[in-house]
Structure formats: structure tokens, C-alpha cells
Amino acid sequence: MEYQVYTLPNGIRILHHPVKSAIAHCCLLINAGSRDETPEQEGLAHFIEHLLFKETGRRSTSQILNRLELVGADLNAYTTKEYTCIHASFLKEHLERTIDLFEDIVFHSTFPQAELEKERGVILDEIASYLDQPEEAIQDDFEGLLFKGHTLGGNILGTPESVNRINKEDIDGFIANNYNTSQIILAVAGDYDFKKLVKLGEKYLGAIVENKAVKNRVKPLVNTPQMVKAEKSISQTHCIMGMQAYPSSHPHKNGLLLLNNLLGGMGMSSRLNLEIREKYGIAYTIESGYIPFTDTGIFNIYFGTDVEKADRAMRLVNKELKKLRENKLGTLQLHQAKQKFNGQIALAEEGKMSLLISMAKSLLDFNYIDSLEEVIAKINAVTADQALEIANEILDNQQMTTLLFEPID
């Protein structure tokens, strides 16, 4: 994969992925997320992400929002457990306008009290809306069980209580303690000369004062597996089960990505979907997921079904897990799993923004970006013996925490 990197004296890196297109994409990725909050500040990183689109020293809220939208660009942002990302897609002639805006909102936002209070109300509404979606809320509650006592278990949005406590002092402190300039990447995918891109980076980001704040991320302990049931005002049973899994640097990461895709990943041909939805018609949605973090990860399986079908669905899930633990994948099975996954990875590269953000994350975490060929080679290198070992480490339902949302009688 073709890319170039330049590091400014303050540590901010400029990443360029050349793409021959009239459309360009740009993101500013910051290695700061919800796990970097204190428990009392839950939701702070996400709150800041919202407030970045409010006033700066030289722009009002409307000027910020109109700066790119008036030229037809798409501007947005999101927060995860470990990152904050601001991103935009635009006609390629508007790159300087985009970098100028990113620099202004990230480094010169003023966080006025009136805007803080307005956005507090917006986020409280967002939390309320989120809680009305059991398939979403159960994921957060599950992570709270899996990482109990650790900030990785906190809700990215925060709680009404924590959001109501956040003040400007918290915001300024979080930015000072977490926006380390050597952990910030400006990434651009587009048809540009790299030297000109570097000059724009120097013009708008070169004067940013270096921040050498050191993170104190602590690896979470592994909590005892448990079964938890909660009654909710819902019509179906929702179930999520899983455990802590491999971090992003683990040698078995690619093997688990492959196994997860085979078991309950994208597409209608996953084992869980074929067995539980297509064969028995038990669950409309059944899927598995694997999210690697820098020092741990999450593997889980989720399904929603009618109350009277929940026990049977659970038994069928456990049956599929047992097959993978006890039966080594055959040569054809493994080949087909790799072929499917590699094809999905290749197709995903067509999404230039998601590819660009993935590249920026890789540069942050590993100081290196794999090419598509290297990614596929790592998937192809997974052996049946490795897959069996991974299945016995991660797909053991006896070691999984299970959370059930059940309708109130």
C-alpha cells in the first residue's frame, strides 16, 4: 500500500495515501478516548468531541459548520474507547480549507459555558435514545461486566450523572493530559503532491505547541465469568456472551479475526447465521464480533429472539462453539474461510475514508502500515492447528460472561 509519512518538529505526523480521484478524504486521529477518563468523568472524551464543533477563537458555531458544508463536503467525528477522530470528505481543491478548520477546532476551541450547557442537553438526549435500543445498550452493559472496575468498562457516552458533572476545567485538563502531539496524525487520501501536503501541514500545524503528556493506561484484570439477567421493558430476549480476547499486537489476532468471520462475521453464510437463523428460524439477528485494543480485546456473540426460543438459541450457539473447539478445520473449510475473509478485506479498501482511518490507527499503534498483500498473507498463514488453539482459548463458553435482557413478566 502506497503511503508517505512526515513528522513535524512538534511530533504531529502527516500521513498521505495517494489516490487518483476528484474526491479526497482527511482525518485527524488523536490517541485519546474514553478509557483515558477518570471514573468520575465518564463521557468526557465524547463530550469534547461534540464541543469541538462549537466556538473557536475566530469562528462561531455556524461558521465552523458552514466552512466545509458550503462547498459540499461531509464533516463528522466520533469517539471510541481509545481514539478521537475528526474526518471529512470533499472535492480535492478544498484540502487547505479542511486542514485549516481541523487545526482551528482541535487546538483553538474556547468551550464557552453557554455552548457547553446546550451540548450537555444534546448528549443527555443521546443517552436516553441509546438506552431505548436494547441491542445497543446490552453491548455497553456487557463491557461494564467484562471490564468491571476499569475505565474500558465505562460507557463512551457517559451516564446522566457523569455528564451533568463535566465542566470546563475537566475539558481543559483532559486535553492537556491526553492530546500528546506525537500521538496525533493528520491523514489524507487524495490526488496530491506530498511536498505540497507537507507545506500545508507545516503552515497550519507546525506552530502547535508540543505536548509530551504521558498516558497511564493500565491493562484490565480478567474478571470471573458470570451470568447476569436483567428485566427490561422489551418484547424479546437479547443475549450477549463473550470474554476478554487478544490485543492488537498479539500473534493470534489474525487467527481470531478469521475465526470470528467464519463463526458470525459479515454475510449470511456465517456458521451462526446458517445454523440458527436459516436452519431453525430462531433469531433475526445473530452475530459475533472481535475488537482488539492495545492491551486486551473483546470477543462476543449477540442475538435477539423470542423469549420461548432463547434457551434453544443458547444451546445451538454453544454447539457451534464446541465444534470449533473439538474439530480441526479441514483443508477445504480453512481455504474457503480465508477466501471469503480476504475478499471482504479487499472490498473494504474501496471505502477510502475507513481505509484512511485504519491506516492512521495502524501508524499510531505500530508505526507501520501493512499493505493489502501483507494483510492477506497474514490471514493465509493461519493454520488449522492455530485455529484450533485459538478456539480453545477464546471460544470456551464456560469461560464467557453472559448478559441477558429479558422482558418484564
Q: What is the mean pLDDT of residues 136-165?
A: 96
My answer on whether 32 and 146 are in the same domain is: yes
Asked whether residue 168 falls in the same domain as residue 284, the answer is: no
Q: Which residue has the cell 486521529?
A: 29
Is 198 in the same domain as 303?
Answer: no
Q: Tell me if 305 is assigned to some domain.
A: yes
% of the chain at pLDDT higher than 70: 100
In a domain, 365, yes or no: yes
pLDDT for 310 equals: 95
Give the pLDDT of residue 376: 96
Does one domain contain both 293 and 348? yes
Alpha carbon distance 61, 79 (integer Å): 20
Nearest partner of 50 among 169, 154, 158, judged by Cα: 158
What is the C-alpha separation between 198 and 376, in angstroms, rounded? 31
Give the end of a domain, one of 175, 205, 235: 205
Beta pairing class for 13-18 and 4-7: antiparallel
| Residues 131, 244 within the same domain | no
pLDDT in tens, 199-242: 999 999 999 999 999 988 999 999 999 999 999 999 999 999 99
Q: What is the 3-state secondary structure (H, E, C) of 94-139?
A: HHHHHHHHHHHHHHCECCCHHHHHHHHHHHHHHHHHHHCCHHHHHH
Query: Is 321 a member of any domain?
Result: yes
Q: Is residue 222 part of a domain?
A: no
Give yes or no: residues 189 and 233 share one domain: no
pLDDT tens digits, one per residue of 80-92: 999 999 999 999 9
Q: How confident is residue 131, by pLDDT bands cut at 50, 70 and 90?
A: confident
Please, which pLDDT band fits residue 250 given cuts at 50, 70 and 90?
very high
Segments forming the whole domain that contains residue 56: 4-205
In the predicted structure, residue 127 carries a pLDDT above the cut 80: yes
Domain identity same for 192 and 273: no
Q: pLDDT at position 100, please?
A: 98
Are the beta carbons of 374 and 346 closer than 8 angstroms?
Answer: no
Q: Are residues 22 and 91 in the same domain?
A: yes
Q: Which helix (H) or strand (E) holds 84?
A: strand 84-91
* Helix, strand, coil percentages, rounded to 5, for the chain: 50, 20, 30
The CATH number for 113's domain is 3.30.830.10
232 with 380, same domain: the answer is: yes
100-121 pLDDT tens trace: 999 999 999 999 999 999 999 9
Q: How far apart are CA 260 and CA 299, in angstroms?
A: 8
The answer on 250 and 199 residing in a single domain is no
Report pLDDT digits (tens) over 16-32: 999 999 999 999 999 99
b/e code 1-12 from CB counts within 10 Å (16+ = b): eebeebebebeb
**Digit-coded pLDDT (tens) for 335-386:** 999 999 999 999 999 999 999 999 999 999 999 999 999 999 999 999 999 9
- Position with higher pLDDT, 132 vs 176: 176
Q: What is the total count of domains within the chain?
A: 2
> Is 45 among the domain residues?
yes
Confidence category of residue 409, pLDDT binned at 50, 70, 90? confident
Residue in this structure with the C-alpha cell 480478567, named with its chain if needed: 222
Q: What average pLDDT does the chain have?
A: 96
Residues 198 and 231 in one domain: no
Q: Do 144 and 30 belong to one domain?
A: yes
Answer for the pair 297, 244: CB distance below 8 angstroms, yes or no. yes
Report residue 130's pLDDT band, with 50, 70 and 90 as the boundaries.
Answer: confident
What are the pLDDT digits (tens) for 254-305? Answer: 999 999 999 999 888 999 999 999 999 999 899 999 999 999 999 999 999 9
pLDDT value at residue 399: 96
pLDDT at 1 over 80: no
pLDDT confidence of residue 267: 84
Enter the C-alpha cell of residue 335: 481455504
Cell 512538534, residue located: 10
The answer, yes or no, to whether residue 73 has pLDDT greater than 90, is: yes
